[in-house]
């Protein structure tokens, strides 16, 4: 690796500190760098979009001697960026607020319309309908198992008593999908933007005002950034819907985007129950909190 860095960047690497499975802190003659290993070249295109639009909230990547973002390494690639110290004490609420503001900034500065065939919408709707159906079967099977138990566990009682809420959410998902189908009948374009697609508190550096770990940057419908974030943080113990206003107040979502987001949010996330009763209670409780949170967000979307 030292030789590759020297040949590709002209940087003399002295040593490496493993931060995670794919991230290394690189010590050099001129300070520290962060090295991130990735398995595809997708970032090459995504980062060019970032540079072209001069988006300031992303960490800078150091180009190699071939003016490329990624450098070949084994079966994959890596990219090099300045080492930025993580925030130690910043409250999660503050990071979330900043993250939503970043998303609003990224999306509004990268929107463009893209022509699609009607087959695109047909495939999209079919895929979502299949996911809803799979999720219905999954939760119905859990309910059936609990119903057959002669003596239910505490988590079993919590699940059985709240199963109607999961059914209600999935019913709402179908309803929003039906509305979405009606709305897109005459559509032949979608609005796309750059999406960050990689929410994690450790990726938000308040001191530097930067988002790091940008290898999942992509072009997609903007609402997927919101949807993916809600899917990843059901354990939050404060109102995500209130924080999200830092996004909704700045981005005018299209009616079809509101319907699609509402549909996706109502698709109850998977929870995998275990033998550990305490963990099962926590998982089900988080799921119920998620449902409360998404209903509050959907209400804010003001779908007519």
237 confidence band (pLDDT: 50, 70, 90): very low
pLDDT higher than threshold 90 for residue 302:
no
Average pLDDT of the segment spanning 85-101? 83
Give the length of the chain: 304
For the chain, what are the domain ranges?
Answer: 2-82, 92-301
User: For position 201, what pLDDT does the model report?
Assistant: 86
Burial of 51 from C-beta contacts in 10 A (0-12 / 13-18 / 19+): middle
CATH of domain 92-301: 3.90.1200.10
Taking all residues of the chain, what is their mean pLDDT, rounded to a whole number?
90
Give Cα 140 to chain centroid, integer Å. 27
Q: How many CB atoms lie within 10 A of CB 64?
A: 21
Q: Which CATH class is domain 2-82?
A: alpha beta
Average pLDDT of the segment spanning 200-205? 89
Query: Do 290 and 242 form a contact (C-beta atoms < 8 A)?
Result: no
Q: The pTM is what?
A: 0.88
């Amino acid at each position: 690796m030292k030789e590759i860095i020297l040949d590709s960047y002209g940087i003399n690497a002295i040593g490496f500190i493993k931060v995670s499975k794919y991230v290394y802190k690189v010590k050099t003659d001129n300070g520290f760098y962060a090295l991130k290993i990735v398995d595809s070249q997708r970032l090459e295109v995504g980062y060019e979009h970032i540079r072209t639009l001069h988006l300031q909230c992303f960490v800078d990547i150091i180009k190699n001697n071939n003016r490329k973002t990624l450098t070949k390494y084994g079966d994959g690639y890596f990219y090099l960026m300045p080492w930025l110290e993580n925030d130690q004490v910043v409250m999660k609420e503050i990071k979330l607020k900043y993250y939503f503001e970043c998303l609003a900034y990224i999306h509004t500065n990268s929107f463009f319309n893209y022509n699609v065939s009607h087959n695109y919408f047909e495939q999209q709707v079919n895929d979502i309908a299949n996911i809803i159906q799979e999720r219905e079967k999954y939760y119905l099977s859990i309910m059936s198992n609990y119903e057959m138990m002669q003596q239910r566990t505490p988590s079993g009682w919590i699940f059985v008593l709240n199963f109607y809420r999961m059914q209600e959410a999935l019913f709402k998902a179908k309803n929003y999908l039906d509305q979405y189908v009606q709305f897109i009948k005459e559509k032949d374009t979608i609005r796309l933007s750059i999406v960050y697609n990689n929410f994690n508190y450790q990726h938000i550096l308040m001191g530097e005002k930067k988002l790091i770990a940008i290898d999942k940057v992509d072009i997609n419908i903007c609402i997927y950034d919101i949807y993916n974030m809600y899917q990843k943080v059901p354990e939050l113990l404060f109102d995500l819907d209130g924080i999200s206003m830092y996004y909704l107040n700045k981005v005018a979502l299209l009616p079809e985007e509101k319907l699609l987001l509402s549909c996706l949010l109502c698709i109850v996330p998977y929870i995998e129950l275990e033998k550990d009763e305490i963990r099962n209670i926590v998982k089900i409780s988080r799921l119920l909190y998620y449902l409360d949170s998404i209903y509050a967000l959907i209400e804010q979307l003001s779908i007519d």
